[in-house]
Amino acid sequence: MKKFFTHLAIKPERVSYGEAEVNRALDLGAVETLYLSKKLKKDQMHALEEKAIGISAQVVLISDETDEGKQFLNLGGIGAILRYAIGDQ
């Protein structure tokens, strides 16, 4: 989680969060590491994991029992570190 928040602060163009943005990044094959809150619905989590596995991305499940985990859940509970910036389209 620390790596995600560090990238968000220093290289925001290499981070994506929120379901729509992360789905787009997954569709483009741009996700290096997918972060998912354990509080997400199982079917939602499974669909995102399947996409990540399909592009050889690492999947990390995040507990909401830490301050960082709670902060991540407040961002929507779905985030990714990207292999490359994808820009706005």
Both tokens of residue 62? 């995040």
Q: Write down the pTM of the prediction.
A: 0.93
Overall fold of domain 2-82: 60s Ribosomal Protein L30; Chain: A; (3.30.1330)
Q: pLDDT tens, 4-54?
A: 999 999 999 999 999 999 999 999 999 999 999 999 999 999 999 999 999
Q: pLDDT tens, 40-73?
A: 999 999 999 999 999 999 999 999 999 999 999 9
Domain boundaries of the chain, sorted by first residue: 2-82
**Among 79, 48, 47, residue whose Cα is nearest residue 62:** 79
Strand 31-37 with 15-17, pairing:
unpaired
